[in-house]
Structure 1
Amino acid sequence: MTAVALEHSVPAAPKRIWNVVRLHVANPLATLVVPWAITAAIFILNMAIFLIVVQAAGGAENLEPDAFQYSGGITWIVWFMTVVAVQAMNLTFSFALGFAVTRRDFYLGSALYFVLLSVMYATGLTLMAAIEKATGGWGIDAAFFAPWGLQDESVLTLWFLYLCTMLLFFFLGAAVATVWVRWKAYGLYAFFVGLAAILVVAAWLITTTESWGDVGEFLTTTPLPWLAAATLPLTAVCGVAGYVFLRRATPKS
C-alpha cells in the first residue's frame, strides 16, 4: 500500500510539465498582457502619424504609392519575445524548484509555454494583418501588421513566418535566460561576446569571399516559407543549448 500511495503522490511527468505552464500563466502580465498592450500603443501611435501625414498632404491620393507600406513598428514585438522568455524563466525558476519541480520538467514546461505563446502571437498578428488587408490598410493603404510587401503573401505563409520568427526569439531568450540563471552577469558577458564574434567572423568570411551578392540573391529569390523554415535549425540549437545550460543551474540571489 505504501508503494501505491507513493506512486499516486508523485504526478506523472506530463502533469508536472503542464504545471510549469500553469506557473507561467499565473503571472500573465509579462507574457500575455504587456506585449499586446505595447503593440496596441505602437499601432495607435503609427496610425496617428499616418493620419497627420494624410491630412497634411490634403488626402491619401496626394501621397506617393506605398507611402505607408514600410513601417517597422511591428518588429518590436519579435525582439521583445527574447525579453519575455528571459523574464519568464528567471522569475519562475527558483519558485518552481521550491515545489520539487525538476530542472528537466521546468525547461520542458517553459519550452511548451513558449511554443504555445508563439502560436498565439502568430495567430493574433496574422488575424490583424488579414483585417488590415480587408480594410484597405485601415482606409489609407497602411501596412503595420504586414509591412514590406508581406500583405501580398497568403495568410498561411504570413502565419508560418510569424510562428518561426517567434519560436526563434523565444528560444534565443530561453538560452540567454539559462546562461543568466547558471552564470549570472559573467555568463552573459561571455555569451554576447561569443555571439558578436560569430557574427563578425561570418561577415568577414562573406566579405573576403565577395559573397554579399549571393547572400542578397538568396534572400530575395528564396520563397518566404523556405526562409522561415531555415530558422528552425537555429531555434533547435538555442533550445538544446538552453536545456544543457540549465541542467546544473542552481538558484542564486
Structure 2
Amino acid sequence: MTTTDIAPAPTAAGAPARIWDVVRLHVANPVPTLVVPWVITAAIFAVNLAIWLMVANAAGGVENLEPDAFQYNGGISWIVVFMMVVAVQAMNLTFKFALGFSVTRRDYYLGSVLYFVLLSLLYSTGVTAIAAVERATDGWGLGATFFAPWGLAGESLMTVWFLYLMAMLLFFFLGAAVATVWVRWGPYGLYAFFIGLAALLVGAGWLVTTTDSWGDVGEFLTGTSLVAIAAWTAPVTLVCGVVGHLFLRRSTPRG
C-alpha cells in the first residue's frame, strides 16, 4: 500500500468523502486500534484461564469448588479503559499527516469520531459474541465468567452488548478530548486537564459527603437497571465529543 493509497484526496467530492478518507487513514495502520487490544485481551484471558485450571486441579476438580468461584473477575474491564489510549494514539499518529493533505480540522474530527463509533460497535459486538461462547461452554468448562463477569453473568446478551457499547463510546470520546488537548497544548495541557478532572471528581465526592447523600447514591445504583445506568453515560460522552471538537478547531500539528 502506497502513501497515495491511504492519503485523503484533496479533491474528494464533498465532506462525506473526506470524512471517509479520514476513516481510511486510521485503518491504514491497524495495529494500534485493531490488533493490540485483541492481543492483550487474549493474553489476559490466557493468564486467567491458566490460573483457573491450576486452582481446579489443586482442588481435585471443578466439582469441589464453589459454583461462583471463577465469576468475580474484572480482567475484561481493561479493554474498555484502554479505548481511551487507543483514541489518543490514533489521533496523535494521524492528525499531522491528515492536515498535510489539506483535510480540514472539522472533517478530520468527524472522521475520527466516526471511526471511534465503528470501533465501539466492533469491540462491543466482538466481546459479547465471545461472552455467548463462554456461556454456551459453561464458562469454558469451569463455570468461569471473564467476558461477562459477576454483575453481567445473569444479564441478557443484548444488555451485555449495550453496556459495553456505551462504556466504550464514553472512553473513546474521553480519549478524543484528551488527544485534542495534547495536540493543542502539549504535555502541560494534559497536566492541567487531568488535574481539573481530578478536582471535579473530588469536588463531586465532597458535595455528596457534605450533603450526606451517599445513601441516595447507593439507592440509585442498586435500584436502577444496568441499562439505565449505561444510558446515563451518554450526556458525558456527548460533552467529551463537543469539548474535543472545540479544542481541535485551533490546534496545530506538533513536531
Once residues 107 and 212 of structure 1 are traced to their aligned partners in structure 2, the CA distance between those partners, rounded to angstroms, is: 38
- The equivalent of 1:151 in structure 2 is 153
Q: 1:146-175 CA distances to partner (integer Å, 9 max, x unpaired)?
A: 011312111111111000000000000000
Query: How many percent of aligned residue pairs carry the same amino acid?
Result: 72
Give the Cα–Cα distance (whole angstroms) in 1 for the partners of residues 210 and 59 of structure 2. Answer: 47
- Looking at structure 1, the residues matched to 43 and 215 of structure 2 have their Cα atoms a distance apart, in angstroms, of 38
CA contact (8 A) 2:12 2:18 kept: no
3-state SS in 2 of match to 1:72: coil
Corresponding position of 2:97: 95
Q: CA RMSD in A?
A: 1.0
Structure-2 separation of matches of 1:134 and 1:55: 22
Partner residue in 2 for 1:229 = 231
Task: Please tell me the residue identity of whatever aligns with 1:206.
Answer: V
1:182 counterpart residue number: 184
Counterpart of 1:86 in structure 2 is 88
**Which residue does 1:3 correspond to in 2?**
none
* TM-score, length basis structure 2: 0.95
Distance, in Å, in 2 between the alignment partners of 1:72 and 1:156 is 20
Partners in 2 of 1:111 and 1:9 — Cα distance? 22
Instruction: Give the equivalent residue in structure 1 for 2:163.
Output: 161
Query: How far is the alpha carbon of 1:247 from its aligned partner?
Result: 0.1
Q: Give the aligned residue type for 1:198.
A: L
AA paired with 1:21? V
Please list, as runs of the form range in 1=range in 2, the aligned pairs for 1:131-142 lying within 5 A after superposition: 131-142=133-144
Deviation digits for residues 193-218 of structure 1, max 9, x if unmatched? 10000001000011111111211121
Residues in 1 aligned to 2:110 and 2:156: alpha-carbon distance in whole angstroms: 32
Cα deviation code 1:204-243 (max 9, x no counterpart): 0111111112111211110111011000000000000000
Instruction: Check conservation: 1:129, 1:151, Cα contact below 8 A.
Output: no
Q: Which residue of 1 aligns with 2:212?
A: 210
Contact 2:176–2:241 at 8 Å: present in 1 too?
A: yes
Q: For the residues of structure 2 that align with 1:176 and 1:64, how far apart are their CA atoms? A: 43
Q: Distance in 1 between matches of 2:211 and 2:69?
A: 37
| Residues 27-58 of structure 1 deviation map (CA, whole Å, 9 limit, x = unaligned) | 00000000001001111110000000000111
TM-score of the pair, normalised by structure 1: 0.95
Q: Partners of 1:10 and 1:128 in 2: how far apart?
A: 39
- Alignment check: 8 A CA contact 2:92 2:183 kept: yes
* Counterpart position of 2:7: none
Give the superposition deviation at 1:132: 0.6
What are the ranges of 5 or more consecutive residues in structure 1 without an aligned counterpart? 1-7
Partner of 1:35: 37
- 131-140 or 146-155, which deviates more: 146-155
The answer to whether 1:51 aligns with 2:53 is yes
> In structure 2, what is the equivalent of residue 125 of structure 1?
127
State the secondary structure of the residue aligned to 2:67: coil
**SS of the residue 1:100 aligns to:** coil
Which residue of structure 1 aligns with residue 74 of structure 2?
72
- For 1:23, the equivalent position in structure 2 comes to 25
The amino acid that maps onto 2:247 is: F
Moved over 6 A (4+): none
